[in-house]
Amino acid sequence: MKPFVLWMTGLPCSGKTTIVRDLQRDVPNLAMLDGDELREWFSPKDFSREARNEHNIRVAHLARLLLKHGVPSAVSLISPYEENRSRAREIVGDGFAECYVRCSLAKCEERDVKGMYAKARRGEIKQFTGIDDPYEEPRNADLVVDTESEPLSASAEKVREFLRSRGLL
């Protein structure tokens, strides 16, 4: 198995982290780089465009370092702007694959057990992706899974098939 960086992008609560956790059962030593967890100690705490860009750059460099040392990783990060994803692809280089986890805003809000969307709609959370900050849908993702029209387990299986087709699993 060759190391890789699987960059999972999508709205909050679209299923990115759930899919990665499912993949960890089959991919030995798959490191999950979760955007929320990394933000706690790794990046600026605000959600301005500049801070989001900086956070994405830092995570991409961390993923590249893991790749360099032979560790496969899956990045679960909203990456709301096209520039985030293209910059990550540029930083990581060979071994990078972008997976768009497509799910409607309504379905993501329905899945939100933490109540983040409701807080954003009440104005308690500012610059929340999908509410008062845009999510630019990927135009050139290597893989698209639709977690609204299929179970998360089926989306995870599609990601496995994609990795197999690339000789990464």
Is 165 designated active site? no
Provide the pLDDT for residue 43: 60
Cα–Cα distance, 82 to 138 (Å, whole number): 7
Percent helix, strand, coil in the chain, to 5, is 45, 15, 40
Residue with tokens 């900050």: 133
pLDDT tens digit at each of 169 positions of the chain = 789 999 999 999 999 999 999 999 988 789 999 877 776 776 656 777 888 888 899 999 999 999 999 999 999 999 999 999 999 999 999 999 999 999 999 999 999 988 999 999 999 988 899 999 999 999 999 999 999 999 999 999 999 999 999 988 8
Dihedral sign (CA 134, 30, 37, 151): positive
CB atoms within 10 A of CB 24: 14
Q: How far is CA 96 from the centre of its chain?
A: 13
User: What SS3 state is found at 116?
Assistant: helix
- CATH number of the domain at 11, please: 3.40.50.300
Cα–Cα distance, 169 to 160 (Å, whole number): 7
Q: Which domain holds residue 21?
A: 5-165
Catalytic site residue from 79, 86, 149, 155? 79
Residue with tokens 């956790």: 21
Q: For the chain, how many structural domains are there in total?
A: 1
Provide the pLDDT for residue 4: 96
Provide the pLDDT for residue 45: 67
Cα–Cα distance, 39 to 142 (Å, whole number): 25
- Residue 129's beta-bridge partner residues? 133
- What does pTM read for this prediction? 0.92
pLDDT in tens, 4-31: 999 999 999 999 999 999 999 988 789 9
Provide the pLDDT for residue 35: 79
Provide the pLDDT for residue 42: 67
User: What SS3 state is found at 83?
Assistant: helix
Which is nearest to 98 in space by CA: 38, 163, 34?
A: 163
Count helices and strands (H / E) in the chain: 7, 5
